[in-house]
Amino acid sequence: MHESAQNPLRNLPPVHAVLEHPGVRTLVDGQGRRIVLDWVREELAHVRQQLLDGKANGSRDEILDSLAERLTHRAQSAEHVRIGKVINATGVILHTGLGRAPLSQTATSALTDIAGAGNVEIDLQTAERRYRGHQLRSAWTRLTDCEDSLIVNNNAAATLLTLQSLSAGREVILSRGQLIEIGGSFRLPEIFQLSGAKLREVGTTNRTRLRDYEQAVGPETAAVMHVHPSNYRVVGFSKTPDIAELTEFAHAHNLIVIDDIGSGSLIDVTKFGLPQEPTFPQSIACGSDVVLGSGDKLLGGPQAGIVLGTAKLIETIRKHPLARAVRVDKLTLAALSATLDSYLRSAAETEIPTINMLAATAGSLLERAHALKGEIGKTQHLEVEVRTDKAPVGGGSLPGVELPTAVLSLAHTKFSADELARRLRLGSIRLFCRIQHDKVIADLRSVLPVDDSKLALAIRLAAGQDRA
């Protein structure tokens, strides 16, 4: 037999032949030549080894078509990994894995507006350079009555920066019941250690009294800290002084009061039938010297750590070297500024998605669910049921609180619940749902109304009825 006929690699196409395949040329247009060339070389190496091991065969055209198909799958997998829009139908309004608070339309417009050059650190009236975020000071003062403000990249950074700049080498008194741990290995005792401040624990896990703070005050005491347990609740036989009591006590001893309110709320959420959450204005009114909070939880803005308080202390924090390491970029400032503008216009409930979702009535969600079922229509192999349910707020806010909601319960006669949920996640419209009792649940509590039609289309596509 001729030697070439025995060569297992005789039909292996060269790199240039794979790149010239019509399907691969399309990938080059979409992904770029460099990345597709890397994929081609990797796939050819894989096929080469399979041919040598006798695990693959076929004509050159068959191998080319097979390679093109494998490369297409790689491109699709790359799209699934790439960060991008997802419709959150889990019911969890502040879903940490899905980016927490969705931005308002005014905030997203502000991102586009600031994409080029902007007055990030320039005072346009004087043409002089100023600190980053100076434009937001007026809004924070009007909304909370604070004297000054500083914005950093998240509340963990705000806590570390505040402790280090105001209390390094000295003691900070904190109730044992407030030694929080949140996601991402953030443990408050470790933050204290990193900051150089000395943690002085008082009281017990469930009960701390003012006399516990009184007994802990000494010559090394710099501050009293109060931390809102925003991702858990201590219930039953529990008691701790509120922030008003602590500020009165601390100021009588010439101590700084640091209040970490956690979720960063600006409004009283009890009007939505929710439990009381601390707010920036309330803490400032109670006399807190420094108040810390998040921007992307109940405030409804971008991820940020918000530091409000007296002018003297905020200036001290701002001048600390660590402040530059944790400062925010122009995009965060622009989105946060636009979010605050909605509060200044008293339009938070209509303009800020998080507040709108919290305020949505069960009746309005049920009405949307029935409309969506009609929009999905009769779909072969897919059963759609509208029903009521409960949805958690999530995102380290309002722990244990569930809101009434309306859901679409989906069951497919050919796909398991896991498979249907996977198809929804990986579709051209990425829809993230939850699975409950072997049904896929699309919960409208966390879905923006503007995305309703996209949700219906995503379901039809995943069920195999429409083509993108």
Domain endpoint, select from 349, 374, 399: 349
**Does 5 fall in a domain?**
no
For 213, the 3-state DSSP assignment is helix
Most confident of 70-84, 203-217, 223-237, 351-365: 351-365
Contact present, 85 and 455 (Cβ < 8 Å): no
Same domain (yes/no): 177, 279: yes
| Res 51 pLDDT > 60 | yes
| Res 399 pLDDT > 50 | yes
User: Total structural domains in the chain?
Assistant: 3
Q: Identify the domain containing residue 442 by its residue range.
A: 87-98+356-462
Same domain (yes/no): 173, 215: yes
> What average pLDDT does range 345-367 have in this prediction?
95
**Does 114 fall in a domain?**
yes
**Does 446 fall in a domain?**
yes
**Does 393 fall in a domain?**
yes
Same domain (yes/no): 130, 176: yes
Same domain (yes/no): 308, 228: yes
Same domain (yes/no): 45, 62: yes
Same domain (yes/no): 172, 76: no
Amino acid at residue number 268? D
Q: What is the pLDDT of residues 88-97, one digit of tens each?
A: 999 999 999 9
Same domain (yes/no): 340, 392: no
Q: What is the dihedral of CA 291, 394, 372, 434, to 10 degrees?
A: 160
Instruction: Using a pLDDT cut of 70, give the percent of the chain over it.
Output: 94
| Res 4 pLDDT > 70 | no
Same domain (yes/no): 248, 291: yes
CATH number of the domain encompassing residue 408: 3.90.1150.180
Please report the pLDDT score of residue 276 as a whole number.
Answer: 86
Instruction: List the alpha helices (DSSP H) in 168-235.
Output: 188-195, 210-216
Q: With left for phi above 0 and alpha for psi between -120 and 50, is residue 273 left, alpha or beta? A: left
The two tokens of residue 382 are 């897919």
Give the H/E segment covering residue 186. strand 186-187
Contact present, 266 and 143 (Cβ < 8 Å): yes
**Does 383 fall in a domain?**
yes
Q: What is the pLDDT of residues 157-174, one digit of tens each?
A: 999 999 999 999 999 999
